[in-house]
Amino acid sequence: MAASTSSFVATEFAADDPRFHDLLLFNAQMEVLFEGCRWLEGPVWIGDQNRLLVSDIPNDRILAWDEENGLSVFRHRAGYPNGQTRDRQGRLLTCSHGHRALLRTEHSGRVVRLVDSFEGEPLNTPNDVVVKRDGTIWFSDPLYGLVNDFEGGRRSSRQPARVYRFDPRDGSLRAMTQPAQVVGPNGLAFSPDERLLYVVETGAPEDPDPERRILAFDLEEGGLSLGEPRLFHTISPGFADGLRVDEQGNVWSSAGDGVHCIAPDGHRLGRLRTPQRVANLCFGGDNCNRLFICGWSAMYAIHLNTRGVRHPAMP
């Protein structure tokens, strides 16, 4: 068996609330799994393959990492991939800036465009994606991948930024937010009971001083509509991008100095510090208790004393 190739950095945490200590393991350390990327995003744990997939957006590739073999390239020319998850059948879903589409990798390996337009106009650049237990696929579609040549290529927008709900059972696509509610929808996560959808607002790309915050929406009409958003939390330092929820309903959010953990009541419980700012994260490992953290150019991981909400594809 090959030894793990990871190294360690000093594990720094800062508790704002004593409850934070209950979520940590005193003898777990922050590992550096690999380095040398340009901008890591879209981490997704593939339990049945015992590996992590993660997007490296400007390098237009999806990377694969596993404990035994380390790092490899899963897909070149991946369509400037961003957020990723799996559907209820375990198929990989990838937000693609390059294709302005939500992509699905079939079990055969063939990649199909699942969604690439709304009301006859192309999407902007799907950014992050989450699957509800009923199999519906929710994704954000801000303009960020259209405004420069670093993450997909400069092009014009034909839609306002929105969050969408795609139902693969009947192919229907519904706009779930309006521009008056959120102008730069980014990371998404459901509360464990799926009564709430957290949406990260990172602002309009042309806004020099955007109001960046995490919003909470109530699901209404059995998940066919959302109520008015309310402020859940404002990350500082830095801002939130991707986020995940643990089994107790705590929100683990990307931040300028690492990962912040926020209780369901919106109060910050504590912070895990990383050497680089963080764009996204996911839970994984056999027990879903290992947090994989996308630093800007390096991948970190740490075991926690809590578990991520089990993905619907992994009962």
Looking at the Cβ atoms of 45 and 144, the one nearer to Mg ion is 144
Shortest Å, Cβ 280 to Mg ion: 6
User: Is residue 141 a contact point for Mg ion (CB under 5 A)?
Assistant: no
Looking at the Cβ atoms of 20 and 190, the one nearer to Mg ion is 190
Q: Which of residues 75-104 bind Mg ion (CB under 5 A)?
A: none
Looking at the Cβ atoms of 128 and 201, the one nearer to Mg ion is 128
Looking at the Cβ atoms of 13 and 150, the one nearer to Mg ion is 150
Q: Which of residues 178-207 bind Mg ion (CB under 5 A)?
A: 186
Kindly tell me which residue out of 56, 87, 141, 241 binds Mg ion, with binding defined by CB under 5 A.
Answer: 241
- What are the CB-based long-range contacts (under 8 Å, 24+) for 283-292? 283/45, 283/244, 283/246, 283/307, 283/308, 283/309, 284/43, 284/45, 284/47, 284/52, 284/308, 285/45, 286/47, 288/45, 288/314, 291/244, 291/252, 291/259, 292/33, 292/43, 292/45, 292/52, 292/54
Shortest Å, Cβ 30 to Mg ion: 22
Looking at the Cβ atoms of 24 and 212, the one nearer to Mg ion is 212
| Distance separating alpha carbons of residues 126 and 142, to the nearest angstrom | 7
**78 token code pair:** 């991946």
Buried b (16+ CB within 10 A) or exposed e, 76-94: eebbbbbbbbbbbeebbbb
What character string, x for contact with Mg ion (CB under 5 A) and - otherwise, covers 105-134? ----------------------xx------
Shortest Å, Cβ 95 to Mg ion: 8
List of residues contacting Mg ion (CB under 5 A): 127-128, 186, 241
